[in-house]
């Protein structure tokens, strides 16, 4: 399995030289099979989705976009996805089940007067469906979907596996604001999170706040950096990528946070950086 980070920023894009190293695009991760060049599974559709078209080098996208939830920073790339918005594209869009048709949910933020076109106006063969909790087969991967706490709409975390490797994707996760402080003040290490992360090779997890920032922002729906590190340790994940960086977090500040966790016993900790590729089982390349 090959994992490419297309957008790693949270809440809103970040622009300027102080953010260029980590990257300013919002959440999008491309997943490909070992024997395939083009990704067939995209996790979220933030502004990082635009960079997938560059990976495809002029070819249409044919695959699935799997949304963790529907907040702006996770869908704003959709109308700017050139490889998906073309007559020869085939795109299946999956949205967490919320009792409303997926197309209607997407149309709430992508339609006039908020935007000049709606989802139905995207060119190519697009389908819009809901996905519920449980195990699914998607684009040749086994995908486990579980609901996780995040303020403002039903949110899923995902575990994606093939025959020999696995990742967990919990882009937006705020257990402390919903489930209470837990054993160390960052939220409980609840069953759904542990099940998604159990023994994975790579955990991609919300790390928007520092421990000192969390008390004032606990109701915003995100995690302190310390939470995914301890979650990875408890779940036996090999590597945790600190993801969904605060839009005001500079490259230097991200690097300092990363360095502060380098000596954590039992788990490798890295900051997610736009453009990085992880071939599971080998060191990342940029």
Structural domain contains residue 65: yes
> For the chain, how many structural domains are there in total?
1
State the pLDDT at residue 284: 52
Contact criterion met (CB below 8 Å) for 190 and 175? yes
Structural domain contains residue 190: yes
Residue 43: CB partners within 8 Å, gap ≥ 6? 27, 28, 29, 30, 31, 66, 68, 158, 160, 169, 171
Structural domain contains residue 207: yes
Domain CATH number, residue 39:
3.60.15.10
Structural domain contains residue 280: no
Residue 105: CB partners within 8 Å, gap ≥ 6? 70, 95, 98
State the pLDDT at residue 283: 47
The range of the structural domain enclosing residue 204 comes to 2-272
Residue 101: CB partners within 8 Å, gap ≥ 6? 128, 130
Alpha carbon 230 to its chain's center: 19
Structural domain contains residue 283: no
Structural domain contains residue 120: yes
Q: Give per-10-residue mean pLDDT for the chain (286 aa).
A: 97 97 98 93 98 93 98 96 97 97 95 95 98 98 98 95 96 95 96 98 98 96 96 96 98 96 85 96 52
Structural domain contains residue 196: yes
State the pLDDT at residue 172: 97
Express the helix, strand and coil content of the chain in percent, nearest 5 each.
Answer: 20, 30, 50
Residue 216: CB partners within 8 Å, gap ≥ 6? none
pTM > 0.85 = yes
Structural domain contains residue 121: yes
State the pLDDT at residue 30: 98
Which residues, listed in sequence order, are joined to residue 207 by a DSSP beta bridge?
none
């Amino acid at each position: 399995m090959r994992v490419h980070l297309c957008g790693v920023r949270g809440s809103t894009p970040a622009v300027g030289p102080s953010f260029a190293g980590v990257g300013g695009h919002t959440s999008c991760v491309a997943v490909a099979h070992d024997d395939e060049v083009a990704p067939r599974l995209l996790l979220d559709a933030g502004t990082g989705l635009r960079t997938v078209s560059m990976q495809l080098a002029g070819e249409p996208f044919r695959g699935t976009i799997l949304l963790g939830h529907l907040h702006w920073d996770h869908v704003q790339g959709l109308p700017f996805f050139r490889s998906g918005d073309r007559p020869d594209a085939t795109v299946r869009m999956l949205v967490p089940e919320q009792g409303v048709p997926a197309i209607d949910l997407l149309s709430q933020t992508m339609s006039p007067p908020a935007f000049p076109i709606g989802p139905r106006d995207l060119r190519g063969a697009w389908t819009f469906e809901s996905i519920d909790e449980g195990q699914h087969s998607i684009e040749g991967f086994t995908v486990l979907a579980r609901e996780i706490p995040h303020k403002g709409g039903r949110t899923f975390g995902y575990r994606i596996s093939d025959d020999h490797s696995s990742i967990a994707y919990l882009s937006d996760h705020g257990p402390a604001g919903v489930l209470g402080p837990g054993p160390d003040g960052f939220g409980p290490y609840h069953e759904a999170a542990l099940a998604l992360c159990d023994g994975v090779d790579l955990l991609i997890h919300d790390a928007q706040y520092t421990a000192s920032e969390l008390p004032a922002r606990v109701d915003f729906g995100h995690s302190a950096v310390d939470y995914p590190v301890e979650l990875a340790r408890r779940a036996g994940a090999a590597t945790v990528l600190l993801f969904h960086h605060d839009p005001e977090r500079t490259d230097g500040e991200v690097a300092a946070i990363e360095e502060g966790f380098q000596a954590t016993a039992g788990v490798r900790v890295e900051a997610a950086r736009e453009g990085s590729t992880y071939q599971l089982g080998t060191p990342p390349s940029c």
